[in-house]
Amino acid sequence: MKKFKSLVLMLVAILSLVVLTGCSKNNESSDKLETRVVETSKGEVEIPANPERIVDISGSSEELAILGYTPVGTANVDSYDTENVPSYMADTFKDIKVVGHSMNDTMDIEAIIETNPDLIIMAPRQEKMYEELKEIAPVVMLEDYSNDWEANLNQVAKLFNKEDEAKAWLDDYYAEAKEIGNKIKATKGDESYVVALATSGQFMIFSEGGMGTILKDDMGLKQPENMPKQDSITLPTVSIEGLSEIDADNIVVIGMESDKQDLAKDSVFNEIRAVKEGNYVFLNASPFFSQAYNPMGRQLLLQEVKDALI
């Protein structure tokens, strides 16, 4: 009889364990299936409450990383090496699959499917893919803020209810930028700066975009009085003579190695005041051209700019 009772008690214990395990698994499944509804430019969309496999084709992968989400698929690539993520993000994004170029209107749909996403984030320029992508996973189409990198970070933060985290990051960024700007001014005085992209013998001037705004807006460094006006997101273009007429105390040129060699041999360029006085810095187009349009890249540029100018 005692053996029989022991056997019964053992069976009850096993059954209880099975029931508890089953409940635990059901609770886990319930957590994973939890969703919420967000308002997007395409209306209300139901998305996972805690997405784990995000594919970003909007160009917002650095914003996601800041907020604690590492995408499984990205279209954040180097503008001069579109098969790979920018070199400054190589470690952070080392396990991420490249599924296209965020500035294009189409992506590698098969590559997106292979990542098995539970959420896809896209931009308006890829709208023709919206219905197709909806068949793979919930899709959020972000607003297009063009050159406004801060507005884009804030909208991604709002999507995930992480506005406080975004604000904290931005506060740290601007504090560091101001500190470095003050150090540059303390070393070089109240000098003026121009940033230009070398292209086909001409120069696109970063008046109100890219690295130009890091120096002007974030660091508080002065621009020359003769800066060309920028009326849209398109950068104004000048010739070598036009660059000379801007007459900046310091010139930062972004370009390819061939541009660097051509400028070194150009007699007109070498007569520009800043060049003659040794206040000329050349930075490689990969990754510096597009780095300033992304938040993590922008933060890393602060120290790069300091090292280049001082």
Per cent of the chain over pLDDT 90 is 80
> What pLDDT was estimated at residue 299?
96
State the Cα–Cα distance between residues 233 and 207, nearest whole angstrom: 10
Classify domain 35-161 by CATH number. Answer: 3.40.50.1980
| pLDDT tens track for 186-235 | 999 999 999 999 998 899 999 888 899 999 999 999 999 999 988 767 88
| pLDDT tens track for 56-77 | 999 999 999 999 999 999 999 9
Is domain 176-309 given the CATH code 3.30.420.40 in the classification?
Answer: no
- Per-domain boundaries in the chain: 35-161, 176-309
Q: Which residues contact 117 (CB under 8 A, 6 or more apart)?
A: 53, 54, 55, 72, 73, 136, 137
Mean pLDDT, the chain, rounded, equals: 89
Largest CA distance in the chain: 107
Helix (H, G, I), strand (E, B) or coil at 106: coil
pLDDT at 21 over 60: no
Per cent of the chain over pLDDT 70 is 89
Q: Which helix (H) or strand (E) holds 257?
A: helix 257-265
pTM of the model: 0.85
CB 87 within 8 A of CB 297: no
Please choose, from the candidates 306, 308, 286, 307, the residue with its C-alpha nearest in 3D space to the C-alpha of residue 89. Answer: 286
Please choose, from the candidates 191, 186, 176, 184, the residue with its C-alpha nearest in 3D space to the C-alpha of residue 251. Answer: 191
> Model confidence at 8, in pLDDT bands (50, 70, 90)?
very low
> What pLDDT was estimated at residue 132?
97
Using CA atoms, how far residue 242 sits from 8, 81, 238, in Å, is: 94, 30, 5
Count CB-CB contacts under 10 A for residue 188: 15
Cα 189 to chain centroid, rounded: 32
DSSP state of 192: B
Per-residue b or e along 261-289, where b marks 16 or more CB atoms closer than 10 Å to that residue's CB: eebeeeeebeebebbeeebbbbbebbbbb
> Model confidence at 32, in pLDDT bands (50, 70, 90)?
low
Mean pLDDT of 170-187: 97
Mean pLDDT of 172-183: 97
- Scanning the structure block, which residue is given the tokens 């053996």? 3
